[in-house]
Structure 1
Amino acid sequence: MTGPAAATRKEEALWMLDQLVPGSGVNNLAVALDVEGELGDWELEETLARLLARHATLRTVFRDTPAGLLRHVLGPTEITVALDQHEVARADLEELLTAYVGRPFAMDGSPLLRAGRFRTPDGDVLCLAVHHLNFDALSSVVLTEELVALYTAVSEDTEPPAELAQPAPVCVETAPSQRSLTYWRDQLHGFDPSGLALWCEGPDVAQPTLTGDRVTARLSAAAYDAVRALARQLRAPEAVILYAAYSLLLSRHGAGRDVVVGAPASLRTAESSRAVGYHINTLPLRLRIPPGVTFADLVGEARGVFLASIIHREVPVEALMAQFRPAAGSWRNPVFKHLFNYVPDEGQASYDLGGLRAERRIVENGFSKFDLEFFVVSTAGALDVRAVFYTEVLGRADVTAMLARFDALLVTLGQRSGEPVDALPLHAPADLATIDTANATTRPARSPSVLAAIADRVAAAPTAVAVRDGDRAVSYAQIWAAADRTRAALRAAGVGPGGVVALLGRRGPELLGAVLGTWLAGAAYLPVDPAHPYQRIVYQLDDSGAGVVIADPGTPVPEAPGRVVLHPVEVADVDPAPVGPPADGLAAGD
């Protein structure tokens, strides 16, 4: 075992996130294979032992000590990982795998790797859970390929490829240069992360659960073709096209015109390209979307941001935190809350595992460290998006709708990349269907007017609740009685057909009674907001020629020759007598 070493700043950030949500595996990742057949116990155990011997990162353990988080690397003979056995029904498999991966690891020097074999009537599922401290998404491809090769060699009693008998390549991360630190500080200067909230998000919670969910979709053929055409037309990598479109999608959903998105970048070199471990930095990509900008211009800007971030990728975002201060009591990364992850190819989908067909299986841990992550996988002829989201602030329906709008937006951008993005529609087919339904208002009217419809309702159900105002429940009969008293008062004040009555009061049952009473008197009403400036109220009353003003008690009413001021009829003061035929002003009010 090597001597203890202090954890890095980004390792400590993961550890602190574990502490934020105790009892959860928010930082756990998985490698899983769905096998058509039964795996051998001894073969699996031997395969695991060889993987541990080859990869020092898988033998790395951490201890939570008074001096902070310390890292140790155990020797090949100092670590064992038992094979957990589970007998499960296929219908329960996904839930059980998620729970298995989401189970926390202890920072007490124990291995940060567990292996489970899940037996089902249809075959086995092998699942490895690894803490993010020792692993990342790129590691899963390498580990899957090596696991398959080693298991096959063990089960067939043959020699594995020679390189798998050697220690794995090591990725040595370089310290951030002053030049790169300066780049990122300049890049983020003046950024206000408080504007990143989406309009479809719910309020944040003080004590986070980080409970996650996912929605997956394969983009349409039209969207796929649009992305490929845009990449050729605008001379930008596919990843840049998708990143720019994702930033635009967030902007159009409320994130504003200054959008920062997290994007993982590998720190591996050509020599360490197959190193297993936590060798990524999540970079804060900032894209400004000014009014009038076209998507072609936006892609040009995004390309520069994307390429510069790769050049300066050795700076972890944790080194930039001092520029930002999270809101009091907030747990969030103060720089970004949305992630964009692009993978050109996740590797093979299926394998020959010792003579058994095995397919790679995606297993989530049941948590989400960010509000929303678009994980885009590009393969020949297809673009698949896995949208992982934090359920405390986003719902499945909204994320599903955003995925559909992303698809529609890409199609539109492919056709109109030279137009200002603000003018482009952001409607998926489901949105258009909803709009069409809302606009489909042409239907036979059951009543000649709103007033007649209310009168019919009063006659049919006088005691039914018409209005709720706080704790008050006001019936149709009460409203109608107040309206009839208002009509009588207006007639006594000389108001008749063609007259104008100004209503200067707060919204509530009394104001509704005044509206209906005005109609019953055959007059029209002018709504005047008492919160408006006094001079505006003076202008409205003078301009309308209103001879009568119905105002709440205590509300100042501008005086004018011949102007009469009445108060709304208090609903509590009326006697909802049995409703007779419509009042005599009903026809005139129509």
Structure 2
Amino acid sequence: MTEAVPERWGRGELLAATAPTVPQAVLAAARRRPGAIAVRQGRRAMTYAELVASAGGLARTLRDLGVGPEVTVGVCGRRRPHTIAAMLGVMLAGGAYVPLDPTHPRDRLLAVLDDAGAELAVVDAEGRALLADAAPDRLFVTAPADGPASPDRPSPDHPVLEALSPDNPAYVMYTSGSTGAPKGVVVTHRSVTAFLTASAHRFGIGTDTIALATASFGFDVSVLEVFTTLAAGGTVGLVPEADRRSPERLGRFAAAHHVTWATPPVSMLPLLDPADFAALRVLVATAEPVAPDQVRRWAGTAEAPRLRFVNAYGPTETTVEATAHDATGDWTRPVPMGRPLPNLRVYVVDAALRPVPVGTAGELLVGGTGPARGYLGRPGLTAQWFVADPFSGSGGRLYRTGDLAAWEPDGALRYLGRADRQLKVRGHRVEPGEVEAALAGHPEVRQAVVDLVPTAAGPLLTAFLTPARAPSDAALREHCARLLPAAMVPARFVRLDALPRNASGKTDRAALHELASPAIAEPGAGWQPDSEEAAVVARAWADVLGVPVRSGDDTFFDAGGHSLGAMRLVARLRADLDRDVRIEDVLRGRTVDGLVAALATAAPAGPELTSGNPPTLSPAQRRLWFLDQLTAESGAYNIALAQRLHGPLDTAALRSALAEVARRHEVLRWRIPTVDGAPAVVIDPPGDIPLPVTDLTTLPPAERAGTLAAQLTQAAGARFDLAADRLWRARLLRVGEDEHVLAVTAHHAVFDGWSQGLFLHDLGTAYARRAAPLPPAAASFADYVAWRADRADRRADTDLRWWLEHLDGVPPVLELPGDHPRPAEQTFRGGRVETLLGAGTTAAVHALARDCGATPSAVLLAVLGQLAGRLAGRDDLVIGTPAVDRRHPAFLDLVGFFIEVVPLRLRPAAGRSFRAQVRDTRDELLDALAHPEAPVERLVEALRLPRDASRQPLVQVLFNAYNFPQPQLELPGLDVTAEPVPVPGAPFDLTVYAAEADGRYRIELVHNTDRFTTARAERLLAAYVHLLDGFLDAPDRPAGEIGLDPYADLFEGTTAGPAPVVPSALPALPVPGGGTEAAVLAVWRQVLERDDIKTTDNFFDVGGTSLLLVTVRQRLEDVLGRHLRVVDLFHHPNVRALAAHLDGAAPAAGADRGTDRGRARRRRAPARAARRRGPN
């Protein structure tokens, strides 16, 4: 359920350029207004006639020296009108000017001249003094002096202009490169003249404009300030160098020149006095994100506007500006980038250059007349960033900006920062610009810069603020939390009198990091622990978060904590206090004092972790093994991921890295055969890992995407043979020149969601290290199973009694209306629909969770409880959720299946407020987590639930809040992005996934397609969002007042399906003397160890379990030589019915299956495999 971007949003209107080249545009204005002032600087003024005459005289000189089209000429002069005339003169001569700022270091200017191949430079006295002695091999021409001009001026028929093509360069502008070396952007007259027309139209520049020109001539905004104004016939108010950096002097200049149009540096806006700009009609903010409070300060309100405030965006490579948005003073959220300027097209795409839906972050691409020719002398870099346009069909090019953006629902673009400045916080992508804009929106914050600062506990998201009297940490956190998701709320705040700036006037981030260290190291002010236990908790807290406790009211999560940090805190406190600390203690306690109180009643720490344990299955793995025996369908219990690799890939190194990861994580070498009807474990020795490579580049380009999707679907859904197969596999698909997709699929028995990130991290490390082995894991999965069993021995009976009491009376089936009757046997065919919540909705979820002392998961789960309860007509129901069992520190970095499904009893009442039900859900989650030693299979047996082959017992609807670190592969020399993967299957009727990334929740609904159509699934998801929005708007109203009237169709449908299996009502018969019934009865009595079983007893009523069904199945096949499925025992649960079924069954596979020789051979096979295994 994602909304495609309307094509019109990304397409600017078409406007014809007023002239083919820049000098012709300026000459046309000069012919119209020869006596008007073109450039003014205090008492210095130059008319249009004087400007073109001065430029024309220089042009003739340059032409005589060989300057013409495709020739670069440096221009180095003070901020005087003659320097503008010099730039125009170079273009009149047909050349491309290369601006050189005389305030920059001489070595940089010389490097620019060298790179540009400029053998000649136009200089004034200051420029000559700076460069001439250092570059004796270059020719320096003196720029025309300010002053009266001769009446001679070039005509429109000047031969130089006739030779000049729109496709010749107008200028070469140098920008900073990622390597530190500047790179020259070559911009043609065609691009510039299209921009001059578009910018004059969009920004309101005309003959009555007096433009404030503050930008360095080496910065592309100067093209907007100078040449757009000149082409429109306006006046350039050229700010002297001494006034550019002083807010007071700049304000006086603006007032004296009656400036009507300005693009002052955004960082200077808070320092300027709007009273100095009384004549200002248009203010364009560009080059940096602008804070909403500055819009309010300058623009006024919609009711009382003072001026047009335009937020503009554009890289040098797209000719100054690409998008713009008019903002009013009522603006409170980050100001959008808007829509494209005339003659431009923009797209937001993923790594494969596919457009992303509304609200999804992606890279911004710019096309149309904007993209420059490329980087001077750098064809490889040009090819990397200027790519063919696959959308327009015009054969044009697109510039990959490297900036991240997203389309807002109203059709405006939202800027999310540089991709190469993107920060990673606990696996979440964080755009610093978005956090900075939120902070700058606080009325007491003047400026804010956000960055990751290294600490002993890992990098912390840190905000640097001015002024130094900015609000308290708690107030700032509360402000940010209203606007941003939890991962984007800074952990620390550093207050400064002023932000440090480098020579170009931009924030000096290196200096900020130096300033951060002492600020973070300060002891917590005004708070001291009042007991030894509090001191221990505070020390562990500080070590995990990297910051001290600063207030008794600080909660762990407000101070920057998260689920992974909570697990690390639990592990640390278990070791320091020797107490059985649990994750729910941190969730309940929250503050230091609360956590101390929660730990006061904690039992001694659990069992010690031992190593070298023999491999056995955990209860959760045994459950997966049984489900595998139950069905031969495709991989419903697979977990799949895919990564797109851009760049030169070393396939051999990747194959070796896969083998190294499997060597480190022993569970990746497990197989699970069945021996005498029970699961066993075989560990294969380390060795090579197959990595088949499929080359899709042999296909026509139009077929590759569809074939790739089909291949990924096949890879994700292919079933594993638990006994014979390695329980994970990888394959590589070549989809382009230096572009591959790595697909990895694993069975859940050896892999969980958390493991995805661990696997990719270790894979990237092994690939980078090449031959060097990874360090050994702190434990093996077999060690975890032994540790868990030891722990369960101490608490299993207590926890089971709690669960039996807690679930007493709850209906065991949650049946929702569907489109198809439930099949007699559960199927696992799945589909998926999804939607992306807005940033405001996500922030509201977090805010309500904080108010309720809950996690956001509790809010989202409570909504699902309301939806399911209404559709099923129930106010008492069970929804499952996975719980992660990684409480020992050795398990945090271990691949494996550490998940137990926990059945949560929810009571979605119509008469109580949603806020109260969030608190109820919070308490239910905490209580369930406090009783982890009763696996769901044991609960099913203890509750004596009716057995039904058509559905999962007890849990048919699952809620999964994915709050693990987001998996991301990093390979040196390659750009890696996640590739969408299909749904392998649907183990439950419905599963709702909630994952937060980039400040927004993505909600996915996976549905069993044999019960629900895609159309119904989409309606279910829409109804879920409808309820969520209603509850967030009115959390204190009775929940039932938020109706589902628009979704009344969801109450219609079928709930009919097969009845659960119940004991047979037939009278008991005497024990038969022979035949199939006698054989079945003998096996039952042997397996169940009971002699009183009758032929009509239900298997589950006399002590049978799901796992024992497999033993019965195998022994009956051995004895009778008849094919029998585990699910047949659900359909025929007593001796008489099962015998009748077996009498009509086909022979078992293998001619000697029922013989002693066949049985012996099958039982020897696992023993042979076990002897092949390597050391544990």
Q: Which band: TM-score by shorter chain? A: 0.5 to 0.7
| 3-state DSSP of counterpart to 1:209 | coil
Identify which of 728, 731, 742 aligns with 1:116: 731
Partner of 1:16: 626
Partner of 1:191: 810
Partner of 1:507: none
Partner of 1:361: 979
Alpha-carbon distance in 2 for matches of 1:242, 1:223: 11
Work out whether 1:138 is the aligned partner of 2:746: no
Work out whether 1:370 is the aligned partner of 2:988: yes
Q: Percent identity?
A: 28
Alpha-carbon distance in 1 for matches of 2:624, 2:962: 22
Q: How does 1:314-393 map to 2 (within 5 A)?
A: 314-324=933-943, 329-347=948-966, 349=968, 351-393=969-1011
Alpha-carbon distance in 1 for matches of 2:1001, 2:711: 28
Alpha-carbon distance in 1 for matches of 2:872, 2:653: 53
Partner of 1:492: none
**CA displacement at 1:326 relative to structure 2:** 5.7
The 8 Å contact of residues 12 and 69 in structure 1, kept in 2 or not, is answered as yes
Partner of 2:667: 57
**CA displacement at 1:281 relative to structure 2:** 0.3
Partner of 1:27: 637
Identify which of 72, 84, 100 aligns with 2:682: 72
Work out whether 1:104 is the aligned partner of 2:723: no
**CA displacement at 1:39 relative to structure 2:** 2.7
In structure 2, the CA distance between the partners of 1:255 and 1:117, relative to structure 1 (3 Å rule), is farther
Partner of 1:43: 653
The 8 Å contact of residues 656 and 688 in structure 2, kept in 1 or not, is answered as no
Partner of 1:81: 689
In structure 2, the CA distance between the partners of 1:362 and 1:278, relative to structure 1 (3 Å rule), is farther
Alpha-carbon distance in 1 for matches of 2:807, 2:711: 42
In structure 2, the CA distance between the partners of 1:263 and 1:147, relative to structure 1 (3 Å rule), is same
Partner of 1:128: 744
In structure 2, the CA distance between the partners of 1:167 and 1:329, relative to structure 1 (3 Å rule), is closer
| 3-state DSSP of counterpart to 2:746 | strand
Which runs of 5 or more residues in structure 1 are unaligned? 436-590
**CA displacement at 1:27 relative to structure 2:** 1.4
**CA displacement at 1:8 relative to structure 2:** 4.1
In structure 2, the CA distance between the partners of 1:8 and 1:270, relative to structure 1 (3 Å rule), is closer
Partner of 1:500: none
Alpha-carbon distance in 2 for matches of 1:237, 1:425: 25
The 8 Å contact of residues 761 and 970 in structure 2, kept in 1 or not, is answered as no
The 8 Å contact of residues 846 and 855 in structure 2, kept in 1 or not, is answered as no
The 8 Å contact of residues 832 and 983 in structure 2, kept in 1 or not, is answered as no
Work out which of the two has the higher radius of gyration on C-alpha atoms and give 1 or 2: 2
Alpha-carbon distance in 1 for matches of 2:964, 2:625: 30
**CA displacement at 1:252 relative to structure 2:** 2.1
Work out whether 1:219 is the aligned partner of 2:827: no
| 3-state DSSP of counterpart to 1:388 | strand
Alpha-carbon distance in 2 for matches of 1:3, 1:346: 29
| 3-state DSSP of counterpart to 1:353 | coil
The 8 Å contact of residues 408 and 427 in structure 1, kept in 2 or not, is answered as no
**CA displacement at 1:290 relative to structure 2:** 3.3
**CA displacement at 1:61 relative to structure 2:** 1.3
Instruction: Tell me whether 50-59 or 270-279 shows the greater mean CA deviation.
Output: 270-279
The 8 Å contact of residues 231 and 237 in structure 1, kept in 2 or not, is answered as yes
- Relative CO higher for 1 or 2, CA cutoff 8 Å, sep ≥ 6? 1
Partner of 1:147: 763
Work out whether 1:295 is the aligned partner of 2:905: no
**CA displacement at 1:391 relative to structure 2:** 0.4
The 8 Å contact of residues 81 and 111 in structure 1, kept in 2 or not, is answered as no
Identify which of 881, 884, 888 aligns with 1:263: 881
Partner of 1:308: 927
Partner of 2:573: none
Work out whether 1:423 is the aligned partner of 2:1041: yes
Alpha-carbon distance in 1 for matches of 2:947, 2:826: 14
Alpha-carbon distance in 2 for matches of 1:345, 1:102: 23
Identify which of 369, 392, 397 aligns with 2:1015: 397
Q: Normalising by the residue count of structure 2, what TM-score does the alignment of the two structures yield?
A: 0.34
Alpha-carbon distance in 2 for matches of 1:260, 1:425: 22
Alpha-carbon distance in 1 for matches of 2:906, 2:614: 41
**CA displacement at 1:312 relative to structure 2:** 1.6
In structure 2, the CA distance between the partners of 1:145 and 1:236, relative to structure 1 (3 Å rule), is same
Partner of 1:236: 854
In structure 2, the CA distance between the partners of 1:3 and 1:230, relative to structure 1 (3 Å rule), is closer
The two structures, once aligned, show a CA RMSD in angstroms of 2.5
In structure 2, the CA distance between the partners of 1:121 and 1:255, relative to structure 1 (3 Å rule), is farther
Q: How does 1:472-491 map to 2 (within 5 A)?
A: none
**CA displacement at 1:139 relative to structure 2:** 0.7
In structure 2, the CA distance between the partners of 1:201 and 1:292, relative to structure 1 (3 Å rule), is farther
Alpha-carbon distance in 2 for matches of 1:49, 1:189: 49
| 3-state DSSP of counterpart to 1:177 | helix
| 3-state DSSP of counterpart to 2:940 | helix
Alpha-carbon distance in 2 for matches of 1:267, 1:188: 22
Deviation per residue, 1:357-387 (Å, 9 max, x gap): 1112342453110011111112352111121
Alpha-carbon distance in 1 for matches of 2:911, 2:894: 45
Alignment-mate amino acid for residue 763 of structure 2: L
Alpha-carbon distance in 2 for matches of 1:312, 1:33: 38
The 8 Å contact of residues 655 and 690 in structure 2, kept in 1 or not, is answered as yes
The 8 Å contact of residues 28 and 365 in structure 1, kept in 2 or not, is answered as no
Alpha-carbon distance in 1 for matches of 2:633, 2:840: 44
In structure 2, the CA distance between the partners of 1:301 and 1:119, relative to structure 1 (3 Å rule), is same
Alpha-carbon distance in 2 for matches of 1:246, 1:267: 24
In structure 2, the CA distance between the partners of 1:266 and 1:328, relative to structure 1 (3 Å rule), is closer
In structure 2, the CA distance between the partners of 1:4 and 1:64, relative to structure 1 (3 Å rule), is farther
Deviation per residue, 1:267-312 (Å, 9 max, x gap): 1024121211011101001111234122122112111101111122
Identify which of 1020, 1024, 1039 aligns with 1:406: 1024
Equivalent pairs, count? 421
**CA displacement at 1:3 relative to structure 2:** 9.9
**CA displacement at 1:96 relative to structure 2:** 1.4
Deviation per residue, 1:126-182 (Å, 9 max, x gap): 11211111111111111111112211222xx7x57xxx3223544342325222112
Partner of 1:94: 709
Work out whether 1:181 is the aligned partner of 2:800: yes
Deviation per residue, 1:427-484 (Å, 9 max, x gap): 56xx59x99xxxxxxxxxxxxxxxxxxxxxxxxxxxxxxxxxxxxxxxxxxxxxxxxx
**CA displacement at 1:230 relative to structure 2:** 1.2
Instruction: Tell me whether 113-122 or 368-377 shows the greater mean CA deviation.
Output: 113-122
The 8 Å contact of residues 28 and 130 in structure 1, kept in 2 or not, is answered as yes
**CA displacement at 1:324 relative to structure 2:** 4.5
Which runs of 5 or more residues in structure 2 are unaligned? 1-611, 697-703, 1051-1176
| 3-state DSSP of counterpart to 1:138 | helix
Partner of 1:540: none
The 8 Å contact of residues 34 and 125 in structure 1, kept in 2 or not, is answered as yes
Q: Normalising by the residue count of structure 1, what TM-score does the alignment of the two structures yield?
A: 0.67
Deviation per residue, 1:28-60 (Å, 9 max, x gap): 112321111353221122101111110011111
The 8 Å contact of residues 958 and 992 in structure 2, kept in 1 or not, is answered as yes
The 8 Å contact of residues 18 and 26 in structure 1, kept in 2 or not, is answered as no
Q: How does 1:461-472 map to 2 (within 5 A)?
A: none
Partner of 2:823: 205
The 8 Å contact of residues 822 and 950 in structure 2, kept in 1 or not, is answered as no
